[in-house]
Chain A
Amino acid sequence: MRTLATFLCILSGLYGLSSGNSYKSAESSYVVIVNVDNQITAISQKDLALIFLGKKTLWENETRIVPVMMREKQRPMRNFVEVVLNKSISQYRAYWKRRLFSGGGTIPKTFKTHKSLIDYVSNKPGAIGIIPKKSAPEGVKVIKIAKS
């Protein structure tokens, strides 16, 4: 009984440690872009997280979703990973390594330059990309992030 009580105390302590890190609202240092043929105009923060964690892989028309982003070292990307995906960069990398090596999917493609990312999204019907807000994308559609 005492062991069980101790175990429950530890568990509730860990729960307490974790509870401050659950849901944060999106910052606006980045924008979300999709191919111009994509019908969507807004995406929820939750769906955005699911897409970039490989948990949502198909658009409603059953086209494969292809998530792409700038390299995560860049501040807006770091901000996106921490706020929307609710993970530190090392957690994000570890998450995808585990998923990749267990056969669970491929890591979102990353690009060095805004231009190459925008070119890719403009040519790929299922693509969705994250770029810094200051990039002023052309040839792609910028969609809104809804909080729910």
Chain B
Amino acid sequence: MYPLYQTINSRITGFIILAAVTLALPLDPDRISLNGFVSFEAEQQIDAIGLGDPNFSLDADLLDLIFNFQIGENMRTVCDISWKHGHESSKNYGALDLEYVFIEHTFFDEIKLRIGKILTPFGNFNEILQAKPAYYSVDVPLSAEIVKQFAPTSFLFFPKSGMGISIQGETVFQYTKSLEYHFFVANGLQDSSTNPYEMDGNISKSIAAQLRFSVTDNIKVGKSIYIDNPVHPIHRLIFSDGYEFEFNNGKFRLLSELTIGNLYKDKDITENSQVTQAGAYIQPSFSFESGLTPYFRFDILDPDIKLDDNYSFVTTLGIHYELSNWYMVKSEVDYFHFGKKSQVPQLSDAGYTTFKAALVLGF
């Protein structure tokens, strides 16, 4: 059997087992819900040289399905499955991924325990990384989801998800003031040689923690940290520190985030034993009654703050149009620029422009 089919089959089998176990409970349609979305994306790099798509591409970008199973009064299972980029007829069927799956037990609304594959609680975008209906832009900021192509030596501030246990909750102490917390212990950064799932050596452990405070109904501030001792021949410790800010009065919205990541390497093996990288973005937007939201974003990533002119930044100008609650069109122009000593030599002190658009249908 082809490896691709094996991969897909094993994942589908896993899901069917999960679904079957849950469905074995007395069937009550109120206890099961299915939501999701499908998105189609177009991209055209306007300049001759760049890292975008020089040929106009139209892609079935993403199909995302979220299943909520209410097992008991205070226990539920949530599962998010996505299928990405089914683009090449009869050859490549795209990737089927289990984004997250966990069991949640609610002791109180202030204390919820989750066990499973859980999205790392860090910053504003990671928990909605796939979810195009949940944000305005076609893609999330570069500084929130690092694309290796732009900075090959960069490291992940944090992995997208991990297998572990989390405690989270929210307390509201005035009508408009609330404090959310999320504390997550997981298996940390793994690679395929060290984590063939059932034979995980349990050496690497990571801790992620996030606090979000709603100062008023319109202002929210947040702080996240991620600490990991990855299983890696040289990397010994990752410590990332994030700050987020949001102002939203229903029309004008300002979203901003700063993340600083420190990678500590083995001193006996490498001279440059500590690398500090930083990423930040600021995104103002204005929502009209008609459902039209123009937005702007300035997004910068510096893969090593000790070195000069090695940054890359993206300026984005776009429009998000919500035709109805679950039907939206996005269109944006992105200008990517690279510093003189950037890690993309062909774009040293230069940039390129791309046009992107997406059609998103949710349910």
Q: Are B218 and A17 in contact (CB under 8 A)?
A: yes
What range describes how many residues of A lie at the interface? 35 or more
Question: Among the interface residues A15, A58, A86, A90, which one has the most CB atoms of the partner chain B within 10 A?
Answer: A90
Interchain nearest-CB distance for B111 vs A (Å):
12
**Interface-forming stretch among B246-254, B271-279, B307-315, B344-352?**
B246-254
Scan residues 208-263 of chain B and give those whose CB is less than 8 A from a CB of chain A: 215-219, 247-252, 254
Q: Mark A56-85, 1 if CB is under 8 A from B, else 0.
A: 111000111010000000000000000000
B175 and A98 contact, CB distance less than 8 A: no
Contact B247 A103 (CB under 8 A): no
Residue B86 interfacial (CB < 8 Å): no
A46 touches B119 (CB 8 A): no
Given contacts A64-B74, A101-B134, A102-B127, contact A23 B176 (CB under 8 A): yes
Interface string of B109-133 (1 = CB under 8 A from A): 1000000001100000001101101
> Is A18's CB under 8 angstroms from B249's CB?
yes
Given contacts A102-B119, A103-B102, A21 and B217 within 8 Å (CB-CB): yes
The complex places the Cα of A107 from the Cα of B172 at a distance, in Å, of 20
| Interface contact B250-A88, CB-CB below 8 Å | yes
Residue A29 is within 8 A (CB to CB) of chain B in the complex? no
Q: Which residues between 151 and 197 of chain B lie within 8 Å of chain A, taking CB atoms?
A: 170, 172, 175-176, 178
Known: A55-B170, A90-B291, A102-B128. A14 touches B106 (CB 8 A): no
Chain B residues closer than 8 Å to A113, beta-carbon distance: none
Contacting A at CB under 8 A, from B31-88, are 33, 35, 64, 66, 68, 70, 73-74, 78, 80
In the complex where A15-B219, A18-B247, A97-B133 touch, is A86 in contact with B73 (Cβ < 8 A)? no
What's the Cα separation between A57 and B250 when bound, in Å? 25
Is the CB–CB distance between A46 and B215 below 8 Å?
no
CB–CB B134/A97 < 8 A: yes
A101 touches B74 (CB 8 A): no
CA–CA, A102 to B35, complex, Å? 12
Is A66 a contact partner of B175 (Cβ separation < 8 A)? no
B334 part of interface (Cβ distance < 8 Å): no
Q: Is the CB of B33 within 8 A of A106?
A: yes
A124, chain B: closest CB distance, angstroms? 7
Q: Does any Cβ of B come within 8 Å of A143's Cβ?
A: no
A19 in the interface, Cβ–Cβ < 8 Å?
Answer: yes
Q: Report the separation of the CA atoms of residues A40 and B224 in the bound assembly, to the nearest whole angstrom.
A: 39
Contact across chains for A21 and B80 when beta carbons are under 8 A apart:
no
Q: Does A94 contact B (CB under 8 A)?
A: yes
Q: Does A87 contact B (CB under 8 A)?
A: yes
- Chain A residues positioned under 8 Å from B145 (CB to CB): none
Whole-angstrom distance between the alpha carbons of A93 and B136 in the complex? 13
Note all chain A residues with C-beta closer than 8 A to B198.
none
Q: Does residue B92 face the partner (Cβ distance < 8 Å to A)?
A: no
Q: A14-B219, A94-B134, A101-B66 are in contact. Are A22 and B74 (CB under 8 A)?
A: no
Q: Give the docked Cα–Cα distance between A66 and B70 (Å).
A: 11
Q: Given the complex of chains A and B, what is the CA–CA distance between A23 and B100 in angstroms?
A: 36
Q: A46-B172, A57-B106 are in contact. List 5 more A-B contacts (CB 8 A).
A: A23-B175, A57-B109, A87-B250, A102-B127, A102-B128
Can you list 20 residue pairs at the A/B interface with Cβ under 8 Å? A14-B219, A14-B247, A15-B215, A18-B219, A19-B216, A21-B250, A23-B175, A50-B109, A57-B106, A63-B73, A64-B74, A90-B250, A91-B250, A98-B131, A98-B134, A102-B127, A103-B118, A105-B68, A106-B35, A126-B73
In order of increasing CB-CB distance, the 4 nearest A-B pairs are: A18-B218, A101-B131, A102-B127, A88-B250
| Chain B contact residues, CB within 8 Å of chain A | 30, 33, 35, 64, 66, 68, 70, 73-74, 78, 80, 100, 102, 106, 108-109, 118-119, 127-128, 130-131, 133-134, 170, 172, 175-176, 178, 215-219, 247-252, 254, 287, 291, 322, 325, 362
Q: Which residues of A pack against B, CB within 8 Å? A: 14-15, 17-19, 21-23, 45-46, 49-50, 55-58, 62-64, 66, 86-88, 90-91, 93-94, 97-98, 100-103, 105-107, 124, 126
